[in-house]
Amino acid sequence: MNIIAKQKILLPHNVDMQKWAVVACDQFTAQPKYWKKLEKFVGNAPSALKLILPEIYLSDNMDKRIEEINQNMADYLDKGLFKEINGFILVEREVENKRKRVGLVMSVDLEAYEWKRIKCPIRATEDTIVERLPARVNIRKGALIELPHILLLIDDEERNIIEPIYQSKDKLKKLYDFELNMGGGRITGYEVKIEKELLDKFNSLVDKERQIKKYGWDAKLMFTVGDGNHSLASAKAWWEELKKELSEEERQNHPARYALVEVVNIYDEALLFEPIHRVMLECDISFIEKLKENLKGNGKLRLFTADKEFVIAAPEKASEQITKVQQFIESYIKSYPSQVDYIHGENHLREVVKDNKNSIGILMPTFEKSELFDYVLNVGNLPKKAFSIGGPEFKKYYLEAKKIK
């Protein structure tokens, strides 16, 4: 199995790129003001915003929205809005503190991925919320193209794969260079030819001797999912459904078998792991006392309402604290008429609590990225929404696309 696939990348041309690229659909889910401002900025211009369904609108006339998305995809393709790139795309993304995060946009084989905890080359890092998949699969069923926000991580301590390409970026053809809207920082893309030497470097990551030396056993692991786990899981679920109708020959080259991703080295210094906070909506203050009774340890957990701060004891280790808090929340909302939402950034969490009466903000700890590969291989998946790569403004934007039909 070739884990990395040679699939053509679609890149918009002759459009206002600042209006084209938009942040991932699972951001700002409790802040409609963000999406209204973005819609006003985009106006009637061609935009990825018209090809995605922001999760804040999942309960708002979803069938009609999906129909419009599919029609927009067909219109954009008919009008020749995209040009095809036959290689990979090297992406330089300006993130927090003007740091530059570097990745490679490419396609991977969904047959090599599994969100369950089994031995495979592409592995999930956190629990998949299976209930969230049907809506995304439904969107995908009628879609002609995909615009994913998936980040896959490689464990390349020698910095031997992506970094040499970046060091020679001035020799590459520049494809785009612009400021992202809504404070997302600057982004620049370069065309990279798919050469055997580069593919060999990726394949060396799953060399048996290397795996045993690095992880203590032959885990056959090339990528872990850093972001967009549910997007990748939805692509996998749809492919598993679709391939039942295909012959073996058709399965080999069907475009839906392959997912477009961005690959980043976990050792990239601009790759920041940040916590994903929780907000309890329509929640009584007694929630805090009940949570306090269920948490023990030498660590601290901070919570707040619109006018008061709280600090309670919690497990010291971030992975254990995240697990215990998430388990309690899921148990609590089964018995009480409360809801939970997941918020990136403390400032955004405080804004949500301020705007919603009877809400409680929970400030979660940071899971260290240095622990990720070891945890996934030797412990298992983290709880859902355990960490975020960067703050909400610096999440991956939809920009490149790929045909899936």
Question: E strand or H helix at 320, and its extent?
Answer: helix 318-335
Residue 370 lies in a domain: no
Predicted pLDDT at 131? 75
- Give the length of the chain: 405
Predicted pLDDT at 155? 97
Predicted pLDDT at 338? 95
Residues 261 and 309 placed together within one structural domain of the fold: no
Predicted pLDDT at 332? 97
306-336 pLDDT, tens digit each: 999 999 999 999 999 999 999 999 999 999 9
Predicted pLDDT at 116? 77
Predicted pLDDT at 128? 79
Residue 104 lies in a domain: yes
Question: Which pair of tokens denotes residue 3?
Answer: 């884990």
Residues 36 and 71 placed together within one structural domain of the fold: yes
Between the alpha carbon of residue 279 and those of residues 288, 329, 330, 351, the distances in Å are: 12, 10, 13, 11
Main-chain phi, psi angles of 149, to 5 degrees: -120, 35
Predicted pLDDT at 134? 82
93-138 pLDDT, tens digit each: 999 989 999 999 999 999 999 887 678 999 999 887 777 788 888 8
Q: Could you give the count of Cα atoms lying within 13 Å of 5 in the half-sphere of its Cβ? A: 21
Residues 244 and 287 placed together within one structural domain of the fold: no
Residues 88 and 237 placed together within one structural domain of the fold: yes
Measured distance CA(314)–CA(312) in Å, rounded: 7
Residue 255 lies in a domain: yes
Residue 382 lies in a domain: no
Residue 376 lies in a domain: no
Residues 316 and 243 placed together within one structural domain of the fold: no
Predicted pLDDT at 43? 98
Percent of the chain whose predicted confidence (pLDDT) is above 70: 100
Closest CA to 343 of 300, 378, 313, 388: 388
Instruction: Determine how β-strand 258-265 pairs with β-strand 151-154.
Output: parallel
- Helix/strand/coil for 20: helix
* Domains contained in the chain, number: 2
Predicted pLDDT at 101? 98
- Helix/strand/coil for 25: coil
* Residues of the chain where predicted confidence (pLDDT) is lower than 70: 117
Closest CA to 60 of 32, 41, 91: 32
- Domain coverage including residue 300: 276-365
- Helix/strand/coil for 44: coil
Residues 266 and 124 placed together within one structural domain of the fold: yes
Residues 83 and 29 placed together within one structural domain of the fold: yes
Predicted pLDDT at 239? 96
Residues 125 and 242 placed together within one structural domain of the fold: yes
Residue 41 lies in a domain: yes
Predicted pLDDT at 102? 98
Predicted pLDDT at 132? 73
Residue 374 lies in a domain: no
Query: What is the per-residue DSSP string for 190-211?
Result: EEE---HHHHHHHHHTT-HHHH
Predicted pLDDT at 336? 94
Residue 387 lies in a domain: no
| DSSP conformational letter for 8 | P
CB 341 within 8 A of CB 278: yes
Predicted pLDDT at 186? 97
Residues 292 and 341 placed together within one structural domain of the fold: yes
Residues 81 and 224 placed together within one structural domain of the fold: yes
Residues 178 and 301 placed together within one structural domain of the fold: no
Residues 262 and 282 placed together within one structural domain of the fold: no
